[in-house]
Structure 1
Amino acid sequence: MTSISYFLVMLKSNVRPNSLTFPFVLKSAAALQEGWLGMEIHSDILKSGLLCDRLVLLYLVDMYAKVGLLECASQVFDESSATSTLLCNVLINGYCRVGKWVQAMELFEVMPEKYGSTWSTLINGLMKAGEIKKAMEIWHSLDERDVVSWTTMINGFSQNGQHEKALSMFAKMLEEGVRPNDRTIVCALLACAKVGALETGTRIHDYILSNGFTLKKGITDALVDMYAKCGSIENASRAFDMAEEEEKDLRTWSVMIWGCAINGYLDKALNCFNKMKSTGIKPDGVVFLAIITACLHAGNVDQGLRFFSEMKHDYSIEPTMKHYAVIVDLYGRAGRLNQALKFINNMSIDPDFVIWGALFSACRAHKNIEMAEYVSEKLLELEPKHPGGYVFLSNVYAGAGKWQEVERVRSKMKNKGVAKDPGWSHIEIHGQVTSFVAGDDFHDRSDEIHLKLDEITRNAREFGYMPETDWVLHNIEEEEKEESLGSHSEKLALAFALISGGDLKVIRIVKNLKICGDCHSLMKYASKMTKRDIVVRDIKRFHHFKYGSCSCQDYW
């Protein structure tokens, strides 16, 4: 906004803008997503007679594309006689950004010259539009594939949630002798972080060290993030410590603090937070969110509230919806439901689905049906089609044994066409990532997996494990409930690891939903029986199971 302000002052002072001025203000208009402002600047460009300038023209088309005014971008492009490959790339990218990949393809086809950047722009745009198959077809049609095209594909797969394919593409790239650049390395490490592929991530780290890569800030941040999200906070700390102090900016510190927070290391998070401040770096809203989250996972309500207050009053940082949500969660997990509700009612912004969802989860955990019903109404008012509101309420009723109410909620879901998100889990064995969904029986070794899971459950019973059938949401017989619990994706992943992991000492599982109480209980017994560490990353945090206990101390 500052550049726009100076631009206005410049006009009022009767100083005429030139071809170097307009690109900066057009870039600012695009960043602010202010199409009307861009139109005003367009008018000034016409008055100045600078539309024929190639740089001004490029930034004008780019601005219209980025604010979503593709018709204006196309019109400027069509009326120009100075079209270039770079200008075509900008418009192709704009088309793809809003899902108009057919127009992007049409423009691509009529381009007189197609450089490597053009192909990569189109592939990137198609990936962003979710047109993965089309992007692959174009990529395979390339005569020569350089590092940019490989990186575009790796990043595209990861953006579309196909992290295993991203890692497979990275491995293939190395096999074909193409040397990755820093961007490629970062994309591959991010894919490892998403699926918890520690073995692959460690190999990439080794590749970095043995092939002369400089540990610049981007790579360091990606390494710390990868190790932390794979549950190896020790290696994350080592990667962080290896970075030069001048390379550690706010982003680097926040990644490290977040890693400590999600792994349940409050003391480490606090230590990093204080060290960061001692270097003169001021925390921002992201860092405060991380440190409050660390307090949340440790059950330290009062300290979390102090940080929230410090953020507002000492650093003048306005809380976002995420900050409010973690405070509601902080109160809720501690059973202070009335305080959580009062906090919501006193928020300076209207609570969203996530805020009410945090309170609802607490209502279920503490079996407060009356408040749960009230909160469910708020959830369904906000998002009638979201499965969460219905699933939350059916969970509460099931926990209380109110099966008629469960069926009423389930029927309402069915009538409204609302479907529950399936649970899935990733696990990496010998560098290969395998995925399981709840109830999965399509794996090649499905029979072995289920036999192993039955064996684990039987042996766990001898140690005192009892299936927590309250987590099953239907009024069925106890035996059927136990069978239903046995199909959870993290249990299938555990059994698969035990039949194929060999001397695997640490079993690492990544899950898309919050781990249920029964799976949490079985993991504790399994860690004791198998004498192996089991690390489960769910949507909220890490659970490090060791010798029959969990790092969360059953507080989650």
Structure 2
Amino acid sequence: MSLSLQVQVQVQVIGASPVLRRRRHEMEMETQRCSSMAHLKQLHSRAIRLGLSSDNDAMGRLIKFCAVSEHGDLSYALQLFDQMPQPDAFIYNTIMRGLCRKSHFPMDCLLFYLRMLRRSVSPNRFTFPSVIGACCLANAVEEGRQVHAHVLKFGFGEDGFCQNSLIHMYVGCGALDDARKVFDGMPAPDVVSWTTLIAGYSRCGSVDEAFRLFESMPEGERSSVSWNAMIASYVQSNRFHEAFALFQRMRDEKVELDKYLAASMLSACTGLGALNQGKWIHRYIDESGIELDSKLATTIIDMYCKCGCLEKAYQVFKELPRKDKGISSWNCMIGGLAMHGKGKAAIELFEEMHGQRVAPDNITFVNLLSACAHSGLVEEGRHYFRRMTEAHGIEPRKEHYGCMVDLLGRAGMFEEAKEIVGNMPISPDAGVLGALLGACKIHRNVDLGEEIGESVIELEPNNSGRYVVLANLYANAGRWEDVAKVRKLMNDRGVKKAPGFSIIEFDGVVSEFIAGGRTHPESKELYAKVDEILERIRGFGYVPDVDGVLHDLEEEEKENPLYYHSEKLAIAFGLLKTKPGETIRISKNLRVCKDCHNASKLVSKVFEREIIVRDRNRFHHFRMGECSCQDYW
């Protein structure tokens, strides 16, 4: 029976109040068991037969299922609403919740609120959270301010539920001053109020203000949620050391780790290459019974990949149940293999993914093409670039073109790389052109590099790396006047090169080194160890790459002594602190320079240690005098 015909059914007049209560109760029980729209429509028909089609209580329950339940149908809820003679505030609120959750046009919720006011239905404390939430979703801060005025007008200015919704709305719209005014006006902010505002300050980059707010929280209000908000703030701002310090303080205060905190701290471990801390958190997750969902598992895999422990990452990935292996898990593992120069293994994993009928996305192919580029697999890269479109219908984005240009450029195939750039349906960005410029540096193609370099600098005038690569290209060609021009351009524009540093973790403590730095408490022993290392590897043919120091501005500043580059100091620290045979793991924020790369190979041979270095581009596994990149980086 159609909705219009159902409404036309003659409704029996119910006079007896006990009968009405009994019928309402029957409908309530049956609606609670409802699990599909087919069942709901049967209940609607029954409501009409029982004479309840105009009853706000009975119809309100049907509307609630349609509007709010994941199995409901919002359009049917609206049809039911339109047949109600005098819907009450509960029904209006329910429809507005549904519009806020399910409609692609959140402002429909605000229009419905206006309809409620025109019908002289007074809003209550449950009305405003949905309306305010709709303003947040639509980024409609001016409309949100008007709704804020209504909150005050109708007497809900001190209602915690409404106040928290307003803080969330203002934070979401970037109106932090307005959010703070609401917060400061609350007689007793709860953990939601504190956490929402802390997250708001973090999102807009005011991390120190977020921390001041966190510190002013009453002890009893701090929960794992507020700790996570502050720790996540540090992580998202790449302030990993502060994240670790706060995490240690949290542990000292006996706050239990939940899956959200675990994910934030795993990201911090990833950022610093703090493998031991990451392992501890992974063990804690296993032992405490924290739910290992697909998202958290992917974070663990990512941590192991980026901390240089590829075998453990693969173990976690393989142990995931098939149903929990979402596309993000596959992408993360393929990307991890790519970073470690395991191009063929990445291809094999992609084919396994295809065999399990997991549909790839654009990120999958970015990782796969990157794996080919890092391993010099030109034919394979061409094949998957075509297959991406022909077999999977994924149109290449700038990132895919950038990978192909990087792959072909590294192989010295400049004509084909230029053809890729020329045939792009979109204008090449600095990433695509930067890949070609990097290839020009590798192969000392000055003419093309000069042309590309000037374009890249104009696209990213504040990126110091672009100037540095072009200056290196000129320096290698002996064009010193052009080197001076590039340096002057940097100075005139106030562009500063990021200083190089290397990080190593030992016994749960992360140490950071800069070239020539002597602030470490054990610097005397460190420099003595570096001297010992250099003396020993000289006997195996080490010759300092002086040319690289004079010209390679991209890495450490040339005035820093060649022998005391940051990764050499980190390696010396690792040799001092770890036992014979243990792997030394180092993270570096810049690309490893040629001299340190050569020295690391010899150190791995002379001291019989595996040294794993994560630089800006990839991983280098130094073992017995060889590097996994095969000098192709």
TM-score by length of 1: 0.89
Quote how far apart the aligned CAs of 1:41 are.
Answer: 5.7
Aligned length in residues: 543
Query: What's 2:192 paired with?
Result: 117
Quote how far apart the aligned CAs of 1:301 are.
Answer: 1.1
Aligned: 1:309 with 2:413: no
Distance 2:386 2:442 in 1: 27
Query: What's 1:151 paired with?
Result: 228
Q: What value does the CA root-mean-square deviation take over the aligned residues? A: 3.0
Amino acid corresponding to residue 143 of structure 2 in structure 1: C
Query: What's 2:355 paired with?
Result: 278
Q: Measured at CA, do residues 400 and 113 of structure 1 come closer, stay the same or move farther in structure 2, by a change above 3 Å?
A: same
5 Å matches for 1:219-368?
Answer: 219-368=296-445
Determine if contact 2:581/2:608 at 8 Å carries over to the other structure.
no
Aligned: 1:401 with 2:472: no
Aligned: 1:85 with 2:160: yes
Distance 1:20 1:275 in 2: 46
Quote how far apart the aligned CAs of 1:440 are.
Answer: 2.7
Amino acid corresponding to residue 345 of structure 1 in structure 2: G
Aligned: 1:212 with 2:283: no
Name the larger-Rg structure: 2
Aligned: 1:443 with 2:520: yes
Aligned: 1:420 with 2:497: yes
Quote how far apart the aligned CAs of 1:404 are.
Answer: 2.1
Identity of aligned residues (%): 36
Task: Tell me the alpha carbon deviations over residues 280-338 of structure 1, each in whole angstroms, 9 at most, x when there is no partner.
Answer: 21111111111111111111011012111111111111222211111111111111122
Query: What's 1:70 paired with?
Result: 141
Determine if contact 2:549/2:562 at 8 Å carries over to the other structure.
yes
Given candidates 75, 89, 108, the residue that maps to 2:183 is: 108
Distance 1:481 1:386 in 2: 19
SS at the partner of 1:508? strand
Determine if contact 2:274/2:505 at 8 Å carries over to the other structure.
yes
Q: Measured at CA, do residues 143 and 499 of structure 1 come closer, stay the same or move farther in structure 2, by a change above 3 Å?
A: same
Q: Measured at CA, do residues 464 and 312 of structure 1 come closer, stay the same or move farther in structure 2, by a change above 3 Å?
A: same
SS at the partner of 2:586? strand
Quote how far apart the aligned CAs of 1:554 are.
Answer: 0.8
Quote how far apart the aligned CAs of 1:375 are.
Answer: 0.4
Note the residue ranges of structure 1 that are not aligned, 5 or more in a row.
none
Quote how far apart the aligned CAs of 1:134 are.
Answer: 2.6
Q: Which moved more, 1:178-187 or 1:451-460?
A: 451-460
Distance 1:536 1:475 in 2: 19
Quote how far apart the aligned CAs of 1:402 are.
Answer: 2.0
Determine if contact 1:157/1:165 at 8 Å carries over to the other structure.
yes
Determine if contact 1:469/1:481 at 8 Å carries over to the other structure.
no
Q: Which moved more, 1:447-456 or 1:428-437?
A: 447-456
Quote how far apart the aligned CAs of 1:7 are.
Answer: 8.2
Determine if contact 2:109/2:130 at 8 Å carries over to the other structure.
no
Quote how far apart the aligned CAs of 1:159 are.
Answer: 1.1
Given candidates 610, 625, 632, the residue that maps to 1:533 is: 610
Task: Tell me the alpha carbon deviations over residues 14-37 of structure 1, each in whole angstroms, 9 at most, x when there is no partner.
Answer: 9699644544554578xx8xxxx6
Query: What's 1:463 paired with?
Result: 540
TM-score by length of 2: 0.79
Quote how far apart the aligned CAs of 1:199 are.
Answer: 0.8
Distance 2:429 2:82 in 1: 47
Quote how far apart the aligned CAs of 1:512 are.
Answer: 1.7
Task: Tell me the alpha carbon deviations over residues 149-206 of structure 1, each in whole angstroms, 9 at most, x when there is no partner.
Answer: 2222221221111223223333332332222111111111121112111111111122
Q: Measured at CA, do residues 451 and 284 of structure 1 come closer, stay the same or move farther in structure 2, by a change above 3 Å?
A: same
Q: Which moved more, 1:95-104 or 1:361-370?
A: 95-104
Query: What's 1:57 paired with?
Result: 128
Given candidates 446, 452, 458, the residue that maps to 1:369 is: 446
SS at the partner of 2:219? coil
Determine if contact 1:257/1:291 at 8 Å carries over to the other structure.
yes
Amino acid corresponding to residue 143 of structure 1 in structure 2: E
Q: Measured at CA, do residues 116 and 249 of structure 1 come closer, stay the same or move farther in structure 2, by a change above 3 Å?
A: same
Task: Tell me the alpha carbon deviations over residues 437-478 of structure 1, each in whole angstroms, 9 at most, x when there is no partner.
Answer: 3443322233333332233223222211222233335599xx
Note the residue ranges of structure 2 that are not aligned, 5 or more in a row.
1-69, 84-90
Task: Tell me the alpha carbon deviations over residues 227-270 of structure 1, each in whole angstroms, 9 at most, x when there is no partner.
Answer: 11111111111111222221111112111111111112223322
Amino acid corresponding to residue 585 of structure 2 in structure 1: R
Query: What's 1:160 paired with?
Result: 237
Task: Tell me the alpha carbon deviations over residues 88-128 of structure 1, each in whole angstroms, 9 at most, x when there is no partner.
Answer: 33433454456644433222110133111111112222222
Distance 1:24 1:424 in 2: 52
Q: Which moved more, 1:61-70 or 1:416-425?
A: 61-70
Amino acid corresponding to residue 182 of structure 2 in structure 1: L
Query: What's 1:490 paired with?
Result: 567
Q: Measured at CA, do residues 249 and 51 of structure 1 come closer, stay the same or move farther in structure 2, by a change above 3 Å?
A: farther
Task: Tell me the alpha carbon deviations over residues 36-62 of structure 1, each in whole angstroms, 9 at most, x when there is no partner.
Answer: x65566345423548936566324433
Distance 2:95 2:354 in 1: 38
Determine if contact 2:433/2:456 at 8 Å carries over to the other structure.
yes
Aligned: 1:201 with 2:278: yes
Query: What's 1:545 paired with?
Result: 622
Distance 1:504 1:115 in 2: 52
Q: Measured at CA, do residues 428 and 72 of structure 1 come closer, stay the same or move farther in structure 2, by a change above 3 Å?
A: same
Determine if contact 1:51/1:57 at 8 Å carries over to the other structure.
no
Q: Measured at CA, do residues 460 and 324 of structure 1 come closer, stay the same or move farther in structure 2, by a change above 3 Å?
A: same
Query: What's 2:264 paired with?
Result: 187
Q: Measured at CA, do residues 380 and 216 of structure 1 come closer, stay the same or move farther in structure 2, by a change above 3 Å?
A: closer
Distance 1:475 1:8 in 2: 65
Distance 1:405 1:538 in 2: 28
Distance 1:274 1:304 in 2: 14
Quote how far apart the aligned CAs of 1:383 are.
Answer: 2.5
Q: Measured at CA, do residues 291 and 158 of structure 1 come closer, stay the same or move farther in structure 2, by a change above 3 Å?
A: same
Distance 1:53 1:357 in 2: 58
Q: Measured at CA, do residues 85 and 338 of structure 1 come closer, stay the same or move farther in structure 2, by a change above 3 Å?
A: farther
Distance 1:320 1:55 in 2: 45
Quote how far apart the aligned CAs of 1:507 are.
Answer: 1.0
Quote how far apart the aligned CAs of 1:501 are.
Answer: 3.1
Distance 1:516 1:475 in 2: 8
Quote how far apart the aligned CAs of 1:534 are.
Answer: 0.6
Amino acid corresponding to residue 65 of structure 1 in structure 2: C
Distance 2:400 2:82 in 1: 45
Distance 1:100 1:521 in 2: 52
SS at the partner of 2:621? strand
